[in-house]
Structure 1
Amino acid sequence: MVDVTIRGAGIFGLSIAWACASRGAQVRVIETVAIGAGSSGGVVGALAPHVPEAWNAKKAFQLESLLMAGDWWAAVEAASGLSSGYGRLGRLQPLTDAHAVEVARQRGEGAAALWQGQAEWQVVPATGAAWEPASPSGWLVRDTLSARISPRLALAALAEAVQAKGGNVVIGEGEDQGQVIHATGL
């Protein structure tokens, strides 16, 4: 018996399936083309924080999501035995001029107040190392909240984790049973 059918095996559909399966629901994911066949299969900068200014509910929700991502992906990896490619590595951003440096310092103060001490946004001097981005001002922003992920690895890990919890991932046609969630992007 299937409790929940999810149509679409992109990041949204597989994440819903994982959440349901982790809570004991019997899950079926139906994908007509291939896992990650839509936009979920491409590389995007979705794991970078909003700037810590003009704070609102959307930015607070995104911060909460970024902060919980490490544990969430670790659970997926533990269940699946596969790497998602997730890593909270931070990032360096070049600052072009004195005005950009001043704005970045103000944002650093905002991050200190809003990011709850769980990540940092700092203005640091560029060292000129070959791996650093070139900075016309000689200054960089270093944030420790940004992360990277491999979409293909993440989707494969999620699909395997859902199946490890007793879920079923169908490529092609399948029958809807239980509650039906459409996560096809259409």
Structure 2
Amino acid sequence: MTSDVTIFGAGLFGLGVAWACASRGARVRVVDPAGPGAGASGGLVGALAPHAPENWSAAKAFQLDALCMAEGFWAEVARIGGIDPGYASCGRLQPVADDAALARNRDRAVAAAAHWRGQGAWQVIRATGAAWEPKSPTGWLVHDTLTGRVSPRAACAALVAAIRARRGEIVTEAPASDGPQVWATGWRGLERLSVETGCPMGGGEKGQALRLAPRFSARPPRFSARP
């Protein structure tokens, strides 16, 4: 098959670009010697959390648009490919550590009301003491309704199925192409570009996750980091 666009890298970013092209009628080829989701996209954690709403910027506005588009995006991927990506718009609870954090998050609630266009809320609420809530020293919690989650492994599988349903190719190698190309080759690709260009393009970040068997799968995820 000849392709209109060649994407190098079959992680979530590369597959997402491929799907965006394929869903608009382009013939796509995704090339990754290790196969889909072989890098960080094969991990466990898919937390889709908004930036804090104060000090509003173009980058934060861009992320807000992406979070608001996520539900429709993943629903379409699941519909076309027939595989559930594990997406949910579930919100998030965070404990409030002290009085300074309480004041800061009340200000954030005002900022969210100003900038989030009614698409979500940043609320400071009283803890109820329920067993599933994060423990809060102040008795207050932050509840944001924009945070979502996705299963990285399931999302990769869902994108692969949707791309193939649109007759896209996902291969481990391919001949050189003169057409448009997208390089989404992870931290190794960034290192290679840094060497080739003589400019630092970025690098890898270490991460780790623990898989548990939760009893409250419908509840918002709990984050222990100080807001």
TM-score, length basis structure 1: 0.96
**How far off is 1:41 after superposition?**
1.7
In structure 2, how many angstroms separate the alpha carbons of the residues matched to 1:65 and 1:108? 20
Residue matched to 2:52: 51
AA matched with 1:31: D
**How far off is 1:36 after superposition?**
1.1
**Aligned-partner SS, 1:75:** helix
**How far off is 1:183 after superposition?**
1.2
Match runs of 1:83-122 below 5 Å: 83-122=84-123
**Residues 1:17 and 2:18 are matched in the alignment:** yes
**Aligned-partner SS, 2:52:** coil
**How far off is 1:182 after superposition?**
1.5
**How far off is 1:31 after superposition?**
1.1
Residue matched to 2:132: 131
Q: What does the per-residue CA deviation read over 1:79-115, in whole Å, with 9 as the maximum and x for residues that have no partner?
A: 1111000001001000011111111111000001111
Contact 1:5 1:176 in 2 (8 A): no
**Aligned-partner SS, 1:14:** helix
Change (3 A) 1:162 1:176: farther
**How far off is 1:176 after superposition?**
3.7
Moved over 4 A (4+): none
Residue matched to 1:143: 144
In structure 1, how many angstroms separate the alpha carbons of the residues matched to 2:125 and 2:133? 12
Residue matched to 1:163: 164
Q: Which has the higher contact order (CA 8 A, sep 6+)?
A: 1
Q: What does the per-residue CA deviation read over 1:89-148, in whole Å, with 9 as the maximum and x for residues that have no partner?
A: 001000011111111111000001111111111000001111100000000000100001
Residue matched to 1:26: 27
AA matched with 2:3: V
**Aligned-partner SS, 2:75:** helix
TM-score, length basis structure 2: 0.79
Mean Cα deviation higher: 111-120 or 175-184: 175-184
Q: What does the per-residue CA deviation read over 1:27-46, in whole Å, with 9 as the maximum and x for residues that have no partner?
A: 11111012111122224465
Residue matched to 1:39: 40
**Aligned-partner SS, 2:182:** strand
AA matched with 1:127: T
Residue matched to 1:175: 175
In structure 1, how many angstroms separate the alpha carbons of the residues matched to 2:68 and 2:146? 8
Residue matched to 1:4: 5
In structure 2, how many angstroms separate the alpha carbons of the residues matched to 1:96 and 1:56? 26
Residue matched to 1:184: 185
Sequence identity (%)? 57
In structure 1, how many angstroms separate the alpha carbons of the residues matched to 2:163 and 2:46? 25
In structure 2, how many angstroms separate the alpha carbons of the residues matched to 1:135 and 1:21? 46
**Aligned-partner SS, 2:138:** coil
Mean Cα deviation higher: 140-149 or 96-105: 96-105
Mean Cα deviation higher: 147-156 or 41-50: 41-50
**Aligned-partner SS, 1:93:** strand
